Structure 1
């Protein structure tokens, strides 16, 4: 399941920002009332920058939190924009189509020498709209991948369906488009830098890894509660992320570029018309357009064009949106994992739509280290599942081991219980070898772990906007814990083998009760009374007693 960020017309029309030395590190051109509300979200965990405007003089910019342990985020702070890079790749392709160098119905095999397999039969339009059907593994982020090796990997990919008939989000498809741009221009990176990363005649942003690099101080992201290791120093070759997740810039630059793109300042007006008219209808009020998602007026009251990216090992997240009816443009980037860019907008959008004050995040009580230490221990449920509770500086870290233990602590506005059940069933089908992709994965696991006697569910959480289902793999040497995130057609999207049980950070709200520090799980409550721990949320409830 691919998540569409909730970016609504009202959010783009009600702008604002001010200043608080503790959480807000700079603001200009913004409404004080709005900033006061966003300041509360910064105090609850949002760290990053935002910018919006209408191209006619309205220009609001603000930054919150810390770029690293010593430096506050600021207007000039650079963030990796992840999959929003696809919008830039699409612009490059449509620029070449407009110039007559390519055509939407050209097949990739005719444009890129050495390309074979189903990838060669995919058209440029199918690659732009994620309808090529290409599935399978393609490179690793921030790991070396030579150009020839990239072509070979793409040539070996399968097709999940007849091209053009369905949607399957594909990083590989956009990597192939980057290779096509490289072949057509002689230099993919140079073409983007000179022709596409340009606003008002000046270059903006650049690449997260390698040259030409995005100039300016870089935010350090957060991954699993710790500073990200990837800070942009990877020397390349860079074909694993080329075209699909390789760019970086400030939030203001992303806002300005989005405005320039849709108003004919990056590519010609004919190319913009082609971008907006090249579509694949998703059947849910949204449509894929090259590099973006077009959201119809029936959903939000006005059309919105949006893109999102992030997660992964940079620990950054970003959202960009353009409102065609008003020309308003918004960009948000974050480098913390308390409240990421998309979650911030999700949280405030319903109130903005209704014309109501922006809700404040649920507060937590003052941290009492002695109280936290008193909660420590291993709590075991009747099912045998356990919670291992550890006191930390900012709350309780709870590792959940067992499907019911995980379910009681998991809540997400982005996924329904039906989504979770479907994902778990698909993971079991994959690991039981019921599909071609599953048989390949099972063979790979057994080559590494030995024969697998059985597979059992161990719970599902969400990370980086996707569901992650934990499983126990029974081997001769004991159980091995793993998690899987799947694509829409049951292919492996991401995997960790082996891994640790999922962990949740809880903060006190008073009277022995706790809630998740991650406000996306705000519907969960955990109560402690003597040696009894009770967890309850949308996914169920569970009682566990502390071991003697």
Structure 2
């Protein structure tokens, strides 16, 4: 995920802070408006685990909630992987080198990086910064070793979806290519980032999630598909699958401070900052892509906002950063839980803040006798064939959905429509039918692992960590493997997991035999009711009844 609602970021910045106060108080709540902290505490009860940080314009707010590793609390010192927000740092490095005359935004990548070929070589630095190069597909997979030469060769083999500069297509590979250009121009991408881009007043801000120089401090452990993340900084590399596009880590406070410093000309020269804000691709909706960020004009929000976000993947972290140039204030939110991510939080409370209203609170949690929860356990089967395997947890239920119909009944999203889901499922079907170059490469790789695929069965789509994930059953002569794919709008692979468990949904009791899918949302969402051996799921897709 890379986008957030700029309106929400603006609202948090405008309404969420007070001036820094002297005197005692918990450091993780210093300077924050007490009503905001109280409301955020309710969201923490509903599943938000992370840090909110706001700085600049005489404001300084730090509020931390949840646990970093299941036991130790999250604090202002807790380090998070910032995912695609790393691209903002890569863009700053490139623009700084351009200001120094070491490269030009008009230079082609091929003229700056020996050995590069194919469509990537013809893309300009500016097109790479704005995701308008047309490069489609991935050059490597997260936490799979990829050295420099392999990265150059892989990027050289990527196709172009359109004439460079004519359209927008988000590209992780394009930002790794920019990191390779930085590496070529400076002698070492990592040394340059650590010595020039991540340094303010002689102090290094954060570092790399994997490898050296590492971000110092205690690290949050994320949640991935209901389990603690396994990728917590121990990957030995080489790292070129993620360099430049999702490799950095820091505290939320450091991200807020760095964001303010960037736009105030303390990280790169003020003229380079001007180039950053002036270099744009108009999205046609009041927003524009700028290098490493999305810029939203005042016509939409009443004030300009610049924002970036990142997350998902196998670290289980989510991060949001925003800058209000007219106020001189920056925001960062980082999270390590699945129930309420950083993006979920700002999505839920932002509209009310923008309207000057109290933030909405998650629905209350009803206390339920453990015996009642255990009595709900079992497998409930839909008439159409899908099923829910319900198990009791410490304070609620978990329903693992089997079959596309069972998954569809549980679907609800503030960001994706039924049409979006259908389009995504069509792209996954085309990929696994080998209708594209990326699909043929994927089939070759998958069949090399599990054997020849005889059938692909759709198994439903969910929204996780800001992206759509379509589950499929891959049937071979020997076994059936469940997996999911997350694709971009042109069918490029953004994420994949083979050998996945069925999607499981948390059901939180709200009283009288009724449950909500989770407490992250406000409004209707998905509700589940139990009556004897009948389980009824009601959500945007309608109602579905299953029997045990």
Q: Tell me the equivalent position of 2:547.
A: 545
1:276 aligns with: 277
CA contact (8 A) 1:118 1:155 kept: yes
Instruction: Report Cα offsets for 1:463-487 as digits up to 9, x if no partner.
Output: 1211111223444346443322111
- Structure 1 segment 26-425 matched on structure 2, within 5 A: 26-54=28-56, 56-425=57-426
C-alpha contact 1:5 1:307 (8 A) present in aligned 2: no
Counterpart Cα distance in 2 of 1:367 and 1:460: 30
Shift of 1:419: 0.9
Provide the rounded CA distance (Å) in 2 between the counterparts of 1:367 and 1:107.
63
CA pair 332-368 structure 1, distance change in 2 beyond 3 A = same
Kept in 2, the 8 Å contact 1:535–1:541? The answer is yes
SS at match of 2:47: coil
Partners in 2 of 1:404 and 1:198 — Cα distance? Answer: 51
Aligned-partner Cα distance in 2 for 1:126–1:166: 10
In structure 2, relative to structure 1, the CA distance for the partners of 1:514 and 1:25 (3 Å cut) is farther
Asked if structure 1 preserves the Cα contact closer than 8 Å seen for 2:471 and 2:482, the reply is: yes
Cα drift, residue 444 of structure 1: 4.2
How many residue pairs were aligned? 540
How far the C-alpha of 1:145 sits from its partner, in A, is 1.9
CA 447–149 in structure 1, closer or farther in 2 if over 3 Å, else same? closer
Q: Please, which runs of 5 or more residues in structure 2 have no aligned partner?
A: 21-25
Question: Any idea what SS the aligned residue of 1:358 has?
Answer: coil
Deviation digits for residues 283-315 of structure 1, max 9, x if unmatched?
222211000011222332322100101221111
| Partner residue, 2:4 | 4
The Cα RMSD (Å) is: 2.0
Q: Which residue of 2 aligns with 1:524?
A: 526
TM-score normalized with structure 1 length: 0.94
Query: Are residues 246 and 444 of structure 1, via their aligned partners in 2, closer, same or farther at CA, if it must alter by over 3 Å?
Result: closer
2:537 is matched with which residue? 535
Please say if residues 82 and 310 of structure 1, whose CA atoms lie closer than 8 Å, have aligned partners that are also in contact: yes
The residue aligned with 2:23 is none
Asked if the contact 1:293–1:307 (Cα under 8 Å) also holds between the matched residues in 2, the reply is yes
Higher alpha-carbon deviation: 39-48 or 227-236 = 227-236
Q: For 1:460, what is the secondary structure of its paired residue?
A: strand
Q: Which residue of 2 aligns with 1:21?
A: none
8 Å Cα contact 1:505-1:518 kept in structure 2: no
User: Could you list the runs of 5+ residues in structure 1 that have no partner in the other structure?
Assistant: 19-23
Indicate if the aligned counterparts of 1:199 and 1:256 stay in contact, CA closer than 8 A: no
Aligned residues of 2:4 and 2:343 also touching (Cα < 8 A) = no
Q: Which runs of 4+ in 1 moved over 6 A?
A: none
Q: Distance in 2 between matches of 1:454 and 1:68?
A: 40
Aligned to 2:28, what secondary structure does the other structure show? strand
Deviation at 1:30, TM superposition (A): 1.4
SS at structure 2 position matched to 1:332: strand
Distance 1:450 1:144, change over 3 A: closer
**Alignment partners' CA distance in 2, 1:447 and 1:8:** 45
Alignment check: 8 A CA contact 2:412 2:526 kept = yes
Question: Does the 8 A contact of 1:401 with 1:458 survive in 2?
Answer: yes
- Are 2:399 and 2:506, in contact at CA under 8 Å, matched by a contact in 1? yes
Q: Is the 8 A contact 1:286 1:296 kept in 2?
A: yes
- Contact 2:474 2:482 survives alignment (8 Å): yes
State the Cα deviation string for residues 433-456 of structure 1 (Å, max 9, x = none): 333333443444445545544434
Q: Any conservation in 2 of the 1:16–1:35 contact (CA below 8 Å)?
A: no
SS in structure 1 at match of 2:29: strand
Q: Do the aligned partners of residues 112 and 421 (structure 1) sit closer, same or farther apart at CA in structure 2, a change above 3 Å counting? A: same
C-alpha contact (below 8 Å) 1:3/1:414 kept by paired residues: no
TM-score when scaled to structure 2?
A: 0.94
Aligned to 1:519, the other structure's residue is in SS state coil
More displaced stretch, 71-80 vs 2-11: 2-11
Q: Does 177-186 or 498-507 show the bigger shift?
A: 498-507
Contact 1:25/1:64 (8 A) holds in 2: no
Partner Cα separation in structure 2 for residue 520 and residue 429 of structure 1: 33
